[in-house]
Amino acid sequence: MTTFDQTELAVCVVCLHLLANGEFNDGTDAAQTAVTGMYRIWGFNVRHLSADGAELGFSTWPCEGCGDTDHGDRYRAFALIPTRRGDQA
């Protein structure tokens, strides 16, 4: 049986789209910047992130997905990290 360490996150709209749809395209490099940020923060655990899209409202805190410090609307996401002992990647 696998147990999970679940953490609730507040992520920016770019992370929301990346986690929910696997892509975000606004004609800028925002998506690439967010992906880079997510890997820097989460490493291989980035594949355990998912978003349900619930609106959390405007926030001045950095995005907890990619670390982006722009203020803006945040959306709910979850990190569901398996915690099986002795099986650390």
Contact positions vs Zn ion (CB under 5 A): 11-12, 15, 34, 63, 65-66, 68
Question: CA dist 82 to 19, 24, 26, 50, Å?
Answer: 18, 27, 33, 14
| DSSP symbol at 87 | -
Q: Which is nearer to Zn ion, 3 or 36 (CB)?
A: 36
Q: Are 63 and 30 in contact (CB under 8 A)?
A: no
Nearer to Zn ion, 34 or 51 (CB): 34
CB-nearer residue toward Zn ion: 15 or 79: 15
CB of 18 to Zn ion, least distance (A): 8
Tell me the sheet residues that pair with 55: 75
Beta bridge partners of 51: 77
| CB of 40 vs Zn ion, minimal distance in Å | 11
How far apart are CB 63 and Zn ion at their closest, in Å?
Answer: 3
